[in-house]
Amino acid sequence: MMQTDRRDFLRLAGVAGVTFTAGLFPGRQAMAQADDFHFVQFSDTHWGYKGKANPDAEHTLEKAIVTVNGLARQPDFIVFTGDLTHTTEDPKERRARMKRVREIIGGLNVKDIRFMPGEHDAALDKGEAYKEYFGDTHYTFEHKGVHFIALDNVSDPGAKLGEDQLAWLAADLKQHKTDDRIVVMTHRPLFDLQPSWDWTTADGAKAIDLLMPYQNVVVFYGHIHQEHHHMTGHIAHHAAKSLIFPQATPGPQPRRPPPPPYDPSQKGLGTRDITIGKTTTFVELPVSKA
């Protein structure tokens, strides 16, 4: 049924979706999952960015909202995994950008929206402005039997979760059984994806250690502006594309190359529709041409 909805949507919007299916929650595969649901992940919208990597930067977010509003089956909720705004060193301008992002996002039909900061939003003032506009930088919530944990590895300018948050995470996990379904959302990768490009979290390994005893954990993140899938033991990590521009693919270069040149077909931009059920299905939704 979900499959049909998705095909309908794709035909409707006249765009091609790329799907990726993973056996999320391996310990639960044998069990019937009555309450399938889906949510949409937006990442790295970088409102305020001006540069040649995306000459359409000002309107990309609006276009993506049109795409999501056009989904045949609306998502249960929407997640923004950080870098809502592009860095500015001016605290007034930072707040102006956040205010504008809130206004634009108000155009989404779905009103259940979960936010997370990226380092561009929060690292220069330890999340102060972010909290005024988007609330807590780390929190948990439940949805249809799945426990969601949003982690903040960006408000600390050294890209740390920090001892306090790790203790909070440990206490939260203690309240759960080792076969509970857990979705972790964060901005930077928790594992060492590419340390020489700074694609890590300084103390991310400590969070992964805390999560390891739990059999059904998946991590969704942003930051690297591209689709990426990685396992640490039985824990799957999935990076989402950025709405603003793609970044270089991890490679052997000691320093991260600049973003690839702008592609008028907007390759590399998009939002991700994630279905959680017996397996997890991702459909990458390109930014609408509308």
Partner 1 sequence: MRRRYFIALLAAGSAAGGVARLAADAPAEVEVIAEKFDFTPDTVKAKVGKPLTFVVTSIDRVHGFKMPDFGVRTDIVPGAETRVTITPTRPGTFAFFCDVFCGDGHEEMGGTLVVEA
Q: Which of residues 61-120 bind partner 1 (CB under 8 A)?
A: 86-89, 119
Q: Are strands 235-239 and 228-232 parallel, antiparallel or unpaired?
A: antiparallel
Q: Are strands 271-276 and 280-285 parallel, antiparallel or unpaired?
A: antiparallel
**Cβ distance to partner 1 smaller for residue 75 or 117:** 117
Asked if residue 261 binds partner 1 (CB under 8 A), the reply is no
Q: Please select the residue that binds partner 1; options are 123, 149, 185, 190, rule is CB under 8 A.
A: 123
**Cβ distance to partner 1 smaller for residue 63 or 95:** 95
Binding residue count for partner 1, defined by CB under 8 A: 20
Q: Please select the residue that binds partner 1; options are 91, 145, 157, 257, rule is CB under 8 A.
A: 157
Contact between 74 and 114 under an 8 Å Cβ cutoff? The reply is no
Rounded to whole angstroms, the Cα distance separating 108 from 114 reads 13
- Give the rounded distance of the alpha carbon of 256 from its chain centre: 21
Asked if residue 202 binds partner 1 (CB under 8 A), the reply is yes
**Cβ distance to partner 1 smaller for residue 117 or 268:** 117
Asked if residue 159 binds partner 1 (CB under 8 A), the reply is yes
Rounded to whole angstroms, the Cα distance separating 101 from 114 reads 13
Report in angstroms how near the CB of residue 186 gets to partner 1 at its nearest: 16
- Give the rounded distance of the alpha carbon of 51 from its chain centre: 23
Report in angstroms how near the CB of residue 240 gets to partner 1 at its nearest: 19
Amino acid at position 104, single letter: I
**φ/ψ of residue 140, rounded to 5:** -130, 160
Q: Please select the residue that binds partner 1; options are 195, 233, 251, 261, rule is CB under 8 A.
A: 195
Rounded to whole angstroms, the Cα distance separating 173 from 218 reads 14
Contact between 199 and 250 under an 8 Å Cβ cutoff? The reply is yes
Q: Please select the residue that binds partner 1; options are 92, 255, 261, 264, rule is CB under 8 A.
A: 255
Number of Cβ within 10 Å of residue 157's Cβ equals 12
Amino acid at position 205, single letter: A
**Cβ distance to partner 1 smaller for residue 117 or 277:** 117
Q: Please select the residue that binds partner 1; options are 23, 107, 145, 158, rule is CB under 8 A.
A: 158
Please identify which residue in the block is written with the tokens 């091609």: 16
Contact between 104 and 119 under an 8 Å Cβ cutoff? The reply is no
**Cβ distance to partner 1 smaller for residue 77 or 197:** 197
Amino acid at position 156, single letter: D
**Cβ distance to partner 1 smaller for residue 27 or 51:** 51
Asked if residue 174 binds partner 1 (CB under 8 A), the reply is no
Asked if residue 22 binds partner 1 (CB under 8 A), the reply is no
Report in angstroms how near the CB of residue 190 gets to partner 1 at its nearest: 16
- Give the rounded distance of the alpha carbon of 141 from its chain centre: 16
**Cβ distance to partner 1 smaller for residue 69 or 253:** 253
**Cβ distance to partner 1 smaller for residue 24 or 123:** 123
Rounded to whole angstroms, the Cα distance separating 217 from 209 reads 12
Report in angstroms how near the CB of residue 122 gets to partner 1 at its nearest: 9
- The site for partner 1 (CB under 8 A) is made up of 86-89, 119, 123-124, 154, 157-159, 195-198, 200, 202, 254-256
